[in-house]
Structure 1
Amino acid sequence: MGALIIVGLVALVVIVFAVQGLKIIRQGETKVIERLGRYHSTLSSGINIIWPILDRPRKVYTRYVVTRMNGATQTLIRMSDVIDLREQVYDFPEQSVITKDNVTTSINALLYFQITDPFKSVYEIENLPNAIEKLTQTTLRNIIGELELDETLTSRDTINSRLREVLDEATNKWGVKVNRVELQDITPPESVRRAMEQQMQAERERRAKILKAEGDKTSKILYSEGEKEAQINQAKAQKESQILMAQGEAEAKILQAKAEAEAIEKLAEAIKGSSSDPASYQIALKYIETLKEMTSGKDNKTVYIPYEATSLLGSLGGIKDILKG
């Protein structure tokens, strides 16, 4: 019986040592092992063996976000012997900061960081999550305190870059790499928001009036240019029309003159050998046509014979001689 008890105790000790000494580390995690209170090693992912009682994992503060039944979230800090080497996101609660022009503004930020040296994250800082949070808050206050409200609202990228540089440099000694910082919300006071809305409304109205005035100006300029072009085109058309009319009248007169010349030539040939003069014949015809026009009106009751009636009679005599010939 004594031998069995001893064998059982030995087996129990072996099992305890095996359970306590065998450590399985998941990918992306690690543990810092201390032997008799001093740093001994950093475990890698996979199966690791340590000496129970002599070796113990060092516990560190870890930040957790817990979601309640009502949907609200709560941030908790707990002790754990596992160090997460993956990139982590800290969503900091909203905090009040004062700008350069003394405007109190509420800002909350997101911080993306990663532990690159587990040894430094354990032994260079006592509470890493709390230190990162407080450092982010104080750095954000310092940066916003150098900017006016308008610059704060329009310079998020600049603030993010400056905040990341400062945090990355400060946390380097803790074995932490800050990859990115994002400002989620920048909320000025209600009175300032109302004033900004009124200012934006006034600015929009001013731009609308300017655009309307520029549109009216452009419309009037285009209308006047159109009128100018229309008048120029109309003047050119009238000019071309008058030129064509003058050319037509000139050609008509030329044709009429040619016709009269041909008529005179034929008349001269017809009366050749007669004592009558072709010119006198033409003059007599003109007198007759004129006298006809004078007596053609309805209201013409009295006809006055001009002083040159004797010439008319002479022309008639010439016509008589022509007819006789």
Structure 2
Amino acid sequence: MGGVLGLIQIDQSTVAIKETFGKFDAILQPGCHCLPWCLGQQIAGYLSLRVQQLDVRCETKTKDNVFVNVVASVQYRALADKASDAFYRLSNTREQIQSYVFDVIRASVPKMNLDDVFEQKNEIARAVEDELEKAMSAYGYEIVQTLIVDIEPDEHVKRAMNEINAGMITTMLEIAKWHGREGLAARMRLAATEKAEAEKILQIKRAEGEAESKYLAGVGIARQRQAIVDGLRDSVLAFSENVPGTSSKDVMDMVLVTQYFDTMKDIGASSKSSAVFIPHGPGAVKDIASQIRDGQLQGRMV
């Protein structure tokens, strides 16, 4: 019945393009309208006023010869007061926007190194938005916002960037040389330099640690020997005072004999001890005592 009477309904956020005998007549707003078809009036088409989004993937090359895929997200909408331009002047809006995005990205990115592309993606998005705004406003479209949502380098370059903290440097350098990718080779040289610096620091710290450990071990041995000497001296003095008629030499010989037998006992009691060949007998103990005394006398003379 509506078709017979020429009644049409236009939904919210949509406008209709009215023609009379094939010529643009008016823009119909949302609501109910009467179009007597017998008078040559008809709807040429509908135009959405909602914000639409177009994701554009553009492959280009940076200044340091690294190929990247830049993904730009363009949000746009048709203007109600310029609906006729938006409907009639462009046959394919999305392809037109995509062409402008390609043009701006391929003019901007080749002037930057790969690191700068990541750091200045907002400037790239602003350049795309400004260019689109100037171009699309003449066709009845408004560019709401433009975002650079992804920057994806070549797979070899991504692997090289990850290898900065890994160890497969030589293999990746060969790949870079084989494919002639200057950007990849530069990143691998940087990775090798950083790895060498890290190994250098580790070696220096390891050497410093070993030196400190040896120094502390030497201090500990010196203190241990000093404690033994002090203990022997106190024992000799105490024994000489409590047992009249004994000399320091007698006390020292007795101490050495005691330590000698304690050592033999420890060696015999250990199940994992190696074979030890030492002179055995009272004469051997006397020789050991003489050697110790001679060593102490020589140390005092020095």
- TM-score w.r.t. length of structure 1: 0.49
Structure 2 segments unaligned to the other structure (5+ residues):
155-175, 248-281, 284-302
Q: Offset at 1:82?
A: 1.9
Deviation for aligned residue 1:163: 1.3
Structure 1 pair 180–186 and aligned structure 2 pair: CA distance change class (3 A): farther
Where does residue 14 of structure 2 map in the other structure? 29
CA offsets, 1:67-111, max 9 Å, x none? xxxxxxxxxxxxxx22233344567898x999999x999999765
Conserved in 2, the CA contact under 8 Å of 1:121 and 1:128?
Answer: no
Q: Deviations over 1:174-207 (max 9, x none)?
A: 432223456799999xxxx998763354345424
- 1:22 to partner: Cα distance: 0.8
> How far apart are the structure 1 equivalents of 2:218 and 2:68?
70
Q: Percent identity?
A: 18
Cα separation, 2, equivalents of 1:251 and 1:199: 78
Change (3 A) 1:159 1:250: same
Alignment of 1:165-180 (within 5 A): 165-180=130-145
Tell me which residue corresponds to 1:160: 125
Counterpart position of 2:197:
214
Match of 2:79 in 1: 116
In 1, are the aligned partners of 2:105 and 2:128 still within 8 Å (CA)?
A: yes
Aligned twin of 2:240: 257
SS at match of 1:83: strand
CA-atom RMSD, angstroms? 4.9
Q: Tell me which of the two structures has the higher relative contact order, counting C-alpha pairs closer than 8 angstroms and 6 or more residues apart.
A: 2
More displaced 10-residue stretch of structure 1: 236-245 or 132-141: 132-141
Aligned equivalents of 2:63 and 2:213: distance in 1? 62
Aligned to 1:42: 28
Counterparts of 1:58 and 1:123, CA distance in 2? 16
Larger radius of gyration: 1
Among candidates 219, 223, 226, match of residue 236 of structure 1: 219
TM-score (norm 2): 0.52
Aligned-partner Cα distance in 2 for 1:218–1:97: 39
TM-superposed deviation, 1:113: 2.2
Q: Retained in 2: the 8 A contact 1:143–1:159?
A: yes
Q: Secondary structure in 2 aligned to 1:114?
A: strand
Alpha-carbon distance between aligned partners in 2 of 1:195 and 1:223, rounded to the nearest angstrom: 38
- Whether 1:86 and 2:50 are equivalent positions in the alignment is yes
Q: Is the 8 A contact 1:87 1:112 kept in 2?
A: yes
Q: Is the 8 A contact 2:61 2:110 kept in 1?
A: no
Give the Å deviation of 1:30: 2.2
Q: How many residues align?
A: 223
- What SS is found at the alignment partner of 1:148? helix
Aligned residue in 2 for 1:72: none
How far does the alpha carbon of each residue in 1:39-92 deviate from its partner, in whole angstroms, 9 at most, with x for none? 4552314x3223444472463xxxxxxxxxxxxxxxxxxxxx222333445678
How far the C-alpha of 1:233 sits from its partner, in A, is: 1.8
1:23–1:48 Cα contact (<8 Å) kept: yes
| Structure 2 Cα separation of the partners of residues 185 and 179 of structure 1 | 21
Decide whether aligned partners of structure 1 residues 56 and 196 sit closer, same or farther in structure 2, where only a CA change above 3 A counts: farther
Unaligned regions of 5+ residues in structure 1, if any? 1-14, 60-80, 265-281, 283-295, 298-325
Contact 2:16 2:47 in 1 (8 A): yes
- Cα deviations by residue, 1:7-64 (Å, 9 ceiling, x for unpaired): xxxxxxxx7x96252112244432133568674552314x3223444472463xxxxx
